[in-house]
């Protein structure tokens, strides 16, 4: 089977956290893990399409589109953070389509990703394509799209919301 994704992993983003700074410092000179500070000169989408894994390193901001971008382009997300509340965690089994790595393991990231056997990677990537519909916004809502997922999350948490007021 021909491998279309040539790079092992990719990250590009602002240096607004120690985790991101550590990631870029550790892997800035690597040929398989591609990391960029800030904006890139080439299209972001090309880098996502060219990488097997797309790294999500938590910054100082509460949210980011990086996970959704990775999923949209069929790139297996690597969640590089500790104690991160993932979207739809009550609904989706993130370990079936993403790799979750402690920020302490940044120096071992390449070793961790290379240790994932090809058939397991293919399974993760196929599952990314299956969950993709849950992260898509449609002009007219479709079953199980992002609108339905958010509504379901709110419904699950309704008992918690009642106690706030």
- Residue 1's pLDDT is what? 40
DSSP letter for each residue of 70-133: HHHTTPEEEEE-SS---TTTTT--GGGT-EEE-GGGGGGHHHHHHTS-HHHHHHHHHHHHHHGG
Q: Angle at CA 132, nearest 5°, toward 61 and 48?
A: 65
Higher pLDDT, 41 or 23: 23
Question: Does 29 score more than 70 pLDDT?
Answer: yes
Q: What is the pTM of this model?
A: 0.84
Quick one: DSSP state of residue 14?
-
Give domain 7-132's CATH architecture: 3-Layer(aba) Sandwich (3.40)
pLDDT band at 110 (very low <50, low <70, confident <90, very high): very high
pLDDT band at 141 (very low <50, low <70, confident <90, very high): confident
Alpha-carbon distance of 106 to 159, in angstroms, equals 38
Q: Domain coordinates of the chain in residue numbers?
A: 7-132
């Amino acid at each position: 089977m021909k491998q279309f994704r040539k790079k092992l992993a990719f990250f590009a983003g602002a240096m607004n956290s120690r985790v991101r700074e550590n990631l870029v410092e550790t892997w800035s000179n690597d040929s398989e893990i591609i990391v960029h500070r800030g904006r890139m000169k080439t299209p972001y989408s090309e880098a996502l399409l060219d990488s097997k894994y797309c790294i999500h390193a938590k910054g100082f901001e509460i949210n980011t589109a990086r996970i959704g971008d990775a999923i949209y382009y069929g790139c297996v997300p690597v969640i590089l953070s500790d104690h991160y509340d993932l979207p739809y965690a009550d609904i989706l089994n993130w370990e079936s389509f993403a790799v979750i790595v402690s920020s302490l393991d940044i120096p071992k990231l390449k070793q961790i990703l290379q240790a994932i056997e090809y058939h397991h990677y293919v399974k993760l990537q196929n599952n990314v394509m299956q969950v993709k519909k849950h992260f898509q916004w449609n002009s007219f809502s479709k079953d199980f799209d992002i609108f339905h997922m958010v509504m379901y999350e709110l419904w699950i948490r309704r008992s918690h919301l009642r106690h706030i007021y």
